[in-house]
Every structure is written in C-alpha cells, then in structure tokens.
C-alpha cells in the first residue's frame, strides 16, 4: 500500500492520533445510551419519535433487533449528504469557517469531479456531477463520493483536521461496504465510527450528533 493512499493516511495519521487524544481527554465514544427493545415501545427517548408505529403491535417482533439498517439512508443520504449540503458546501452551512472556505473552493472541487468522469467505468450506473448539481445528487452519487472520490477531490481543499475526520468516515464505510474487508476489519470500522462521532461536536457544533 502506498504511503499517499487515503486509507494508509487514515490508519497512520488519523486513527491513532485521534485515539490518543480521546484517551487523554478521558472520552469514550461508546457512552451514549442505545435504544433497546424495552425502551423503544414505551418511547423512553421522546425526541426520537413522531408517533406510534403499528410494528410494535406485532407479537414477538423486536424493531430494534429485526429491522435492517441500510447504508443508503444512513451513510450516503444521511452522513455524506449532511456533510456536503449542510456543513461544507450548501448555502445553509452552519460551520461558517468551513462552509465559507469550501464555497470558494467548490468550483475547483467541481472541476476535479468532472475530470474524473471519463475514468469512471461503466459498472457505475450514474457518473457523479459537479457540485453545482449538489441539490439534485442521487444516492449513488453520494455513495461514489463517500467510497471512492471524496479523499481525492477534497485533498488540500478541506482544512486538514476536517479532512482527517472525513477519512475516518471514508475508511469505515469502505470496510463496512466490502464483504471481504468486513470479515476481518469490522471491529476496526466500528472504532473508526466511534471516533468520527466523538469528534463531531468539536468540529461541527454541539448538536451535530443529533441527526
């Protein structure tokens, strides 16, 4: 593996430093109370619910344990879309220092994306567009950005601490979306995810873990 490979950078320069920092601060990324089969039906986390689902009336059905979590909504239309549309590029950016900086760089990032198009093989059903079309991005485009081109087009454009933080998400997503890698590196991906979420408030504000 090359020294400038994004995955290598994440392993050597992101995960270990952030792990040591979090230990020094006395943090633990796993302290949040998880939803349980007992707490979910009685809605112990009121802010999570908008009503009562009829699924809870199915005998012996446990929504927390039985409903499959899909990468499209959680990773690509969830985290990646929010990073791009809210915190980095979108006009509603709530992290003004990053949003303003990337707004100035968005044209250059778009050119990088457009230059990549001719190298994208036909196995990908949709080729990613420039950021001017961000509001109309489909899930497959957010997926391509997360798993493949994000580390390339954001390098030297995103402030370094934000870039390294994104690499945590990128590497964890690559592992979780690869059947072969997930067989041996799933715990590592879990650790990366914990650190990614642990450092969200420092970079994007106190409410950045609420979504």
Instruction: Tell me the two tokens of residue 140.
Output: 């497959």
CB 151 within 8 Å of CB 14 = no
Instruction: Tell me the two tokens of residue 164.
Output: 């390294």
For the stretch 153-180, pLDDT in tens is 999 988 899 999 999 999 999 999 999 9
Closest Cα to residue 114, out of 80, 153, 87?
Answer: 153
CB 183 within 8 Å of CB 113 = no
CB count in 10 Å sphere of residue 22: 16
For the stretch 186-206, pLDDT in tens is 999 999 999 999 999 888 888
For the stretch 78-115, pLDDT in tens is 999 999 988 887 655 455 556 566 777 888 899 999 99
Instruction: Tell me the two tokens of residue 32.
Output: 């949040």
Note the pTM of the prediction, 2 decimals. 0.77
Closest Cα to residue 18, out of 206, 203, 151?
Answer: 203
């Amino acid at each position: 593996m090359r020294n400038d490979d994004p995955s290598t950078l994440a392993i050597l320069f992101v995960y270990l430093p952030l792990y040591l920092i979090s230990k020094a601060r006395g943090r633990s990324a796993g302290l949040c109370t998880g939803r349980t089969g007992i707490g979910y039906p009685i809605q112990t986390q009121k802010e999570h619910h908008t009503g009562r689902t009829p699924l809870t009336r199915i005998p012996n059905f446990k929504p927390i344990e039985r409903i499959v979590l899909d990468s499209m909504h959680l990773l690509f239309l969830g985290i990646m879309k929010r990073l791009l549309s809210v915190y980095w590029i979108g006009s509603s950016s709530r992290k003004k220092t990053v949003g303003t900086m990337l707004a100035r760089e968005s044209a250059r990032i778009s050119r990088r994306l457009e230059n990549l198009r001719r190298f994208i093989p036909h196995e990908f059903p949709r080729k990613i567009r420039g950021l001017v079309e961000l509001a109309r991005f489909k899930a497959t485009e957010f997926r391509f950005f997360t798993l493949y081109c994000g580390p390339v087009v954001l390098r030297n454009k995103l402030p370094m601490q934000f870039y390294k933080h994104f690499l945590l998400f990128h590497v964890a997503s690559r592992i979780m979306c690869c059947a072969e890698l997930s067989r041996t590196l799933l715990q590592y991906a879990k650790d990366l995810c914990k650190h990614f979420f642990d450092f969200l408030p420092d970079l994007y504000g106190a409410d950045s873990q609420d979504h």
